[in-house]
Amino acid sequence: MDPQDACRIAIIGLGKVARDRHVDAISRAPGARLAATADPQASLPGIPAFPSLEALLASGTGFDAVALCTPPAIRTRLAAAALAAGKHVLLEKPPGATVAEVTALTHLAHRQHRTLYATWHSRHAPAVEPARARLATRRIRAIRIDWKEDVRHWHPGQDWIWEPGGFGVFDPGINALSILTRILPRPVFVTDAELLLPANRATPIAAHLRFTDTEGLDGRAAFDWRPTGPEDWTIRIETDEGPLAIERGGRRLLEGGLLLLDQPKAEYPAIYSRFTALAGQGASEVDLAPLALVADTFLLSRRHTVEAFH
């Protein structure tokens, strides 16, 4: 593709995920080009930089789309402003703080004839689609999810994740739920939940869920941000044709203990390839199933206070 025809993307919010994932992914995705950034405290060498989306829009800088990498609690206002200005919008996960606000954005994108893309990067992991194909014709009896990582490693100094709308342990936990809702042939729903909240924080540091479907699936998930040793991102599935396991967040796929696949993940370039394709078609893609499961968890949960987290 001629670089002049590439989708010109501005990154809004130049924090850890933007620097670690989005900048490189845009450079590697055919049909995408980084045109600008907007962040009050950060910039990139050689890229036009602005302190805010409003300043970027007022500058006259040419761009076609925004990638919103800010905390979810402020994302809806920014997405609405970008859509109103005629820009396509990519939402880093989770797409917003509530189901209702993302639904409203979907309607706005339709009225503006612009693309709204709610990304679920873990769905692009290499084991996800092969697992989905295998499960399409099997009877699924039970699912166990273990998603445990060290919050200090992945979110150093990020206090926003502990505030209302910051999701707490569901910031990574929703990755597991995004894989789950992609690979299963039927929708699932939460039946019981327990949230563990540090005494000095507003969002959970750990959670335990039970979920099912209309055929009585036995589903359980454990999310935990406290481990400081080996981390675990595993989904184990019992079927009428034997066990299936997705390991390392979607990098590995095992069937009956036999390793079928172990590949490096390239999730974010795949996200941008999908986004530019959608923008070229003027189409949107907003699947709220993972976010709805988190919202329902908060509705149904029993809350327990645990020791303060610092």
Which residues are designated catalytic? 93
Q: Six-digit token pair at 13? A: 């919010």
Q: Six-digit token pair at 4? A: 């002049």
Contact partners, residue 275, CB within 8 Å, separation at least 6: 7, 32, 65, 67, 88, 90, 115, 117, 119
* Sole residue written with tokens 């100094």: 157
Contact criterion met (CB below 8 Å) for 23 and 34? yes
Helix (H, G, I), strand (E, B) or coil at 169: coil
Q: Six-digit token pair at 37? A: 């950034």
Distance CA 265, CA 15 (A): 21
Helix (H, G, I), strand (E, B) or coil at 144: strand
Distance CA 143, CA 106 (A): 31
Contact partners, residue 164, CB within 8 Å, separation at least 6: 73, 202, 203
Is the backbone peptide bond immediately before 3 cis, with ω within 30 degrees of 0? no
Helix (H) or strand (E) holding 9: strand 7-12
Distance CA 224, CA 84 (A): 39
H helices then E strands: how many in the chain?
Answer: 10, 15
Contact partners, residue 264, CB within 8 Å, separation at least 6: 126, 251
